[in-house]
Structure 1
Amino acid sequence: MSKEAAASSIQAGSRDQPDRGDEDDGETTPLLAQGASRGASFASSVFNLMNAIMGSGILGLAYAMANTGIVGFSVLLLLVSSLASYSIHILLTLCDQTGLKSYEGLGEIAFQKAGKVLVASTILIQNIGAMASYMFILKSELPATIHSFLRTEASGLWYEDGGILLILVTVCVVLPLALLPKIGFLGYTSSLSFFFMLFFAVVVVVKKWSIPCPLPVNSTLSLQMSSPTPSSNFSGSDCTAHLFVFSSKSAYAIPTMAFSFLCHTAILPIYCELHRPTKRRMQNVANVSISLSFLVYLVSALFGYLTFYAQVESQLLLGYDAYLPHDVLVTVVRLFILLAVLLTVPLIHFPARKAVLMLFLGERRFSWIAHCLSTFLLLLVVVLLAEYVPDIRNVFGVVGSTTSTCLLFVYPGLFYLRINSHDIRSCSSTKAGALVVFGVFVGLLSLCIIILSWAQMSF
C-alpha cells in the first residue's frame, strides 16, 4: 500500500463513518464490528491495563528517588506518566482515523508490510523477554519465599527447587489463564494483582516506623547489603531526605520510570473488547489506570526512600531482608509481589500470541487450533529461556531498552507523523516528533547505562 493510497483510505474512512472519538453515546463503533454484544466492563479494563503497567519494576523506584531526590523524582515521574498517556492518546487517535484496531495494522498503514512485520516482531521480542524475565524471577525467588514463609530448615524437598515450581505454576496457573480467548476475562486476576501491589505500598508505609533512623549497623549488614549505596559518604546518622539529587546514577531514574509505564502492547486488545469502545471511553480507562499506578508508585517510592534514605537498595525488599529478616508482613508482601508478577504473565502473553498469529496467519478468523498451538509454543519458549539461560535479565535488558522505548514512545509518534504527513507542521505533529526524540533519548540512555554497568562488573 503506497503512502498516498493510505492517506486516501483514511480520508475515505473518515467520510464514510462519523467521528465518535469525543462522544460516548452508547453505540458500538466499527472497532468492535466482530465483537460480542457486550464487551469488558470499564472496571475490568482498568484493572487489566494497570496489571500491564505495574510489575516488579515497582521495587526499583525508591532507589530511583534516592538518586534524584523527592521533588526531582516526582517531577520526572509526572513527566513520564504524562508522556505515556499522550502516546496512548496518539495510538487511539490513529485507530479513530484509520478504523484499525491493532498496533501491527497501524504499522502497516504507516510503512506497508515492513511496518507490520517490524511492529509484530518488536511486540513479540519485548513480550517474550518480559515473560521470561518474570518467570526467571519466580524461579529464583519463589523457593526462598516459601522457605521463609514456612520457617523450616532446608531439606531438599520439591518446593525448594525453582525449576519444579516454575513448571508447576506454568501448568496450573499461567497456561489456563493464557488459553482464555479474550483479554477481558483476565479482569478478575488483574484486580487481584492490583490489590497485591496496593498491599505492598501499604506495607512500605507501615514499615517506615518499624526501622529506626539512624539505621542500625552490625557485622552482617555489609554482607546482606550487596548493592552499592547511592552516596559514598553516607553515615549512620544521616537521616536527611533530599529534594534534589544530581549524580552519575541519576541517569538510571528515567529508564526505570519509562519502563514502569509500558502497557502499550495491551492497549489496543483492551480497546477492542471494551464495552461501548469509543476513543473517549478508552482514553478514560488509560487515564484512570495511569493515575492510580502513579499514586501507588509515588507512595511506595517515597516511603521506601524515607525508610532507608541513602542506603535504599536497588531492589527495595532487600533492605527489609537485612533489617527485618523474619518479619511476617515483609514475607507476605514478597509472596504477593511474586503472585502479582505471576498473574501479569498471561496478560503479557495475549499480545505476544496475537503478534505471532498475525505474522504467520494474517487477519484470519479465530481458530482454537491455532490459538492453543501458539499458546503452548510461546509458553514453552518462555519456560526454556527461564530455565536454561543463566543471566536472562542482562540479556533482555539490552533488548528491553530498545523494544520498550520503541513501543512506548517512538512508534506512536513516528506512525502519527507518517500517516498525517499532509499536516506535518501542526501542533499535534510537533508533539509527536518530540515524543519520538524523547523515546530515542531514553533508549540510548538506558542502553549506555547497561553497557557501562557490564563494563564496571568486568573490572
Structure 2
Amino acid sequence: MSGGDADQVEADKLISADADNHSKTNGVVKNGINHNYKDSESNKITRDEYYQPQVGTIDSKKTYDYESDIKTDIPTRAGIDGSTTALGGTFIVSNAAIGCGALAFAHAFKEAGGLYVGVVMIFVCACLCALSLLIVGYVCGLCRASEFHEMGRELLGWVAELLLQLCLVMANLAACTMYFVIIGDQLELIFRRSTDDEFFCSEPWYFNRKLTIIGATLVFVYPLLLVRRVDFLKYPSLISVGSMVYLMIAVVVKYFRDGDEAHQKVELNYKPDNWYSAFNAFPTILFGYQCMTNCPPVYANLKQKTPSTWLKITSGTILICTVVYLPTALFGYLTHGTNITSNILKAYNPDETLIFVGQIGVMASVMMTYPVIFYVARNAFDPMYTSVRLLFNTRYDAMAWATHRRIIEATIWYAFTLLLAIFIPNIGVAMNFAGSVAVFFYFVFPGAFLVKIGWSRREELGEVLTRAVVVLGIVLFAFGCALFIQGNYLALETVLSSESEPHICDELGKKTKESGSVSDISPSPPAA
C-alpha cells in the first residue's frame, strides 16, 4: 500500500470528473467533449464513443473469447484511453509494491527462524504474489473491471463488493497505523542524534514517544487529510521508492564497512527449530509485495490488454521488488543477526550520516504517503458512511454536507490510527496486522474468483481443467484464511505479552558494557 496509491488517486479524480460530466449532460464524454444523448436511433452511443462495462455475473452458457474481448471490448472508463505500455505498467505496479515494508524484512528472517529459510520464504512469497497478479489480471480482462471491488461485484455479487471495500479500509488503516509507528521510531533516532546520549536517556517529557507522535502528525499530516484532493502529492511514490533503494544500498555498504571482526561477533540462525516457524514471516513479506488493489486501474489503462503484456508486467514487478527487498533483508540480518529490530533503522547507530540520511528519507516518505493512502480509503469508506446516514435521514444531501463529511472522516481516521500507533509497540506488530488483511487481496478473493470462473465455465474448460481451476481456487482461499488467522494471532500475542523490544537507552547500556568504553556511546543513566 505504498506510493502507487497516488496513481489510484489520479484515477479516482478522473472517475469523479467523468461521472459528473455524464450526469450533467445526460450524455457521454469523449476526448473532453460532451456528446448529448437522446433516445433517437441516430444518436445512439456507439462503441467507439463510450463502452459500458459488463454488468452481472458470468453466464456459463456464453462463450468468452479472452483475447478478442480484451483487445477490442475493454471499456474506456474514467478517461482511460489505453495508453500505458508494459514498461510503464511495470513501473506503476512496482511503485505500488515497494514501500516501508522493507524496514521489517530483516526481522522477518528472525521470525522465520534463520537465514536460509528467510531467503527461501522471500522467493516463495514472490512466486505466490506472481500467481496472484496473473489471476487478478485475467479476471480484470474477463470482467472488464477497473477497480478491485468491481470484480467482486460482477463475479460474486454485492456482498463480495461490500466485503472488498471493508478489506480495503482495514488494509489501509493497518498501513496508516504502521506509518505512525515508523514516525515514532524515526523521531526517537533523530532526537538521539541531535542531543547527547546521556541527556536523551534521561527522558525529558518533551521526548516522550506518545507526545512526539501526536505533535509531528498533528502538524505535518493531519492538515493534508482535510483537503478535497491531494493532487499535489501524486508523486510521493518517487520519494518512497528512492528511500527504499537508498536504504538497500546503505545496508549493503554498512555490512562491508564493518569488516570481518565485527561479523564474527554476530549471532546468526540458519534454520528454524520447528518447520512451522517459517510461516511467521509470511504476513510481513506478503505486505511488502502488496500491490493488488492498484492492478485493475493499471490493467484497464494498458495499450495492449493481452495476457502476454500482463505477464511482462508481473515478471518485471516481482523482479524489481525482489532485487530491492532481498539485499536489504539478507545483509541487514547478516549485520545484526538475532539482535535485529522490527525497524531495521533502529538497529544501526544514527550518528552515522549514511543511516541518518535514510531516516530522514523514510520520514519524508511516510508523511507524504499517509494522506494518499487515506484518500484511497476515504473513497471506499465514504459511500458506506453516506448509505448509513441515508438510513436515518432520507433527506440527507450528500453534496451539501461533503465538506463536513470530509472533515469528520479525516478526524475519525486520524484519531483511530493515532490511538493504535500509540499502543502498538513496534512496526512488526502493525505489519502483521496489515499483512494478514492483505492476504484477502492475494489469496482469499482471487481464490474465490477462480472457483466461480471454473464452475461457471465448466462446459468450456472440460472436466479435468475445471477440477484443476476449482481446486487451485479452494487451496488459495483456504491458505489465505489460514494466513489471516495466523497474522492476527502473532500480532495480538506480541501486544498482549509483556515482551517488547528494548529501548534505545537499554541498547546503549548493553553495548557500553560489551565494549568497555564510552568512545562511541555514553552509558545509560542510572535507574531512578
Q: Same fold (TM over 0.5)?
A: yes
Higher relative contact order (CA 8 A, sep 6+): 1
**What is the identity, as a one-letter code, of the residue corresponding to 1:415?**
F
Residues 190-219 of structure 1 show CA distances to partners (whole Å, capped at 9, x for unaligned) of 12211110000000001103335555xxxx
Moved more, 199-208 or 340-349: 340-349
Larger radius of gyration: 2
- Alpha-carbon RMSD: 4.0
Distance 2:318 2:193 in 1: 33
Partner letter of residue 260 of structure 1? Answer: G
Quick check: 1:318 aligned with 2:346?
yes
Counterparts of 1:180 and 1:214, CA distance in 2: 50
1:144 is aligned to 188
Q: Equivalent of 2:362, from 310, 314, 337?
A: 337
User: 1:62 aligned to 106, 109, 117, which one?
Assistant: 106
Can you list the C-alpha shifts for 1:106-163, whole angstroms capped at 9, x where unaligned? 222333221111111111122123223313432x235335435655888969xx9432
The 2-side partners of 1:201 and 1:213 are apart by 20
1:303 aligns to what SS in structure 2? helix
Per the alignment, residue 387 of structure 1 pairs with: 418
Question: Which residue pairs with 2:471 in the alignment?
Answer: 430
Report the TM-score, using the length of structure 2 for normalisation.
Answer: 0.67
1:30 pairs with 2:74 = yes
- TM-superposed CA distance for 1:281, in Å, is 3.4
- Do the aligned residues in 2 keep the contact of 1:47 with 1:191 (CA within 8 Å)? no
1:246 lines up with 2:273 in the alignment: yes
1:404 corresponds to which residue? 438
> Separation in 2 of the partners of 1:350 and 1:96?
26
Residues 17, 300 of structure 1: alpha-carbon distance in 2 compared, 3 angstrom cutoff: closer
> Shift of residue 6 of structure 1?
1.9
Q: What's the counterpart of residue 19 of structure 1?
A: 69
The answer (yes or no) to whether the contact 1:10–1:98 under 8 Å persists in 2 is no
CA 1:114–1:386: 2 relative to 1, 3 Å: closer
1:86 to 117, 121, 131: 131
Query: Is 1:53 matched up with 2:97?
Result: yes
Q: Contact 1:46/1:286 (CA < 8 Å) preserved in 2?
A: yes
Between 307-316 and 90-99, report the one with greater CA deviation: 307-316
Q: Could you tell me how far 1:411 is from its partner in structure 2?
A: 0.9
1:165 to 193, 216, 221: 216
Distance 2:475 2:300 in 1: 28
Please list every run of 5 or more consecutive structure 1 residues that lacks an aligned counterpart in the other structure: 22-26, 216-235
Distance 1:238 1:396, change over 3 A: closer
1:278-289 matches, cutoff 5 A = 278=306, 280-289=308-317
Q: Give 1:418's aligned residue.
A: 452
Report whether the alignment pairs 1:190 with 2:224.
no
Does the 8 Å contact 2:152/2:164 carry over to 1? Answer: yes
* Alpha-carbon shift at residue 30 of structure 1 (Å): 2.0
Q: Distance in 2 between matches of 1:305 and 1:17?
A: 45
Aligned partner of 1:296 among 311, 314, 324: 324
- Bigger mean CA deviation after superposition, 201-210 or 90-99: 90-99
Range with bigger deviation, 38-47 or 377-386 = 38-47
Q: 1:179 aligns with which of 225, 230, 253?
A: 230
Matched, 1:328 2:353: yes
Kindly tell me: are residues 420 and 65 of structure 1, through their superposed partners in 2, closer, same or farther at Cα, counting changes over 3 Å? same
Task: Show the counterpart of 2:250.
Answer: 203
Contact 2:132 2:442 in 1 (8 A): yes
**Which runs of no fewer than 5 residues in structure 2 stay unpaired?**
1-55, 388-397, 459-464, 501-528
CA 1:128/1:149 → structure 2, altered by over 3 Å: closer, same or farther? same
Identity %: 19
Post-superposition offset of 1:189: 2.4
Are the aligned partners of 1:48 and 1:347 in contact in 2 as well (CA < 8 Å)?
no
Is the contact between residue 109 and residue 419 of structure 1 (CA under 8 Å) also seen in structure 2?
Answer: no
- What secondary structure does 2:125 align onto? helix
Q: Which residue of 1 aligns with 2:293?
A: 265
Distance across 1 between alignment mates of 2:65 and 2:85: 30
Q: Which amino acid aligns with 1:384?
A: A
Shift of the alpha carbon at 1:292?
Answer: 0.8
1:30 is paired with a residue whose SS is coil
Q: d(CA) in 2 for partners of 1:284 and 1:372?
A: 42
Residue by residue over 1:409-440, the C-alpha shift from the partner in whole angstroms, topping out at 9 and shown as x without a partner, is 11111122123313373433333222223212
Indicate the residue corresponding to 2:116 in structure 1.
Answer: 71
Alpha carbons of structure 1 residues 393 and 418: separation in structure 2 relative to 1, 3 Å: farther
TM (norm. structure 1) is 0.76
The answer to whether the Cα contact below 8 Å between 1:177 and 1:346 also exists between their aligned partners in 2 is no
Structure 1's 350 and 56: CA in aligned 2 closer, same or farther, altered over 3 A?
Answer: same
Amino acid aligned to 1:245: P
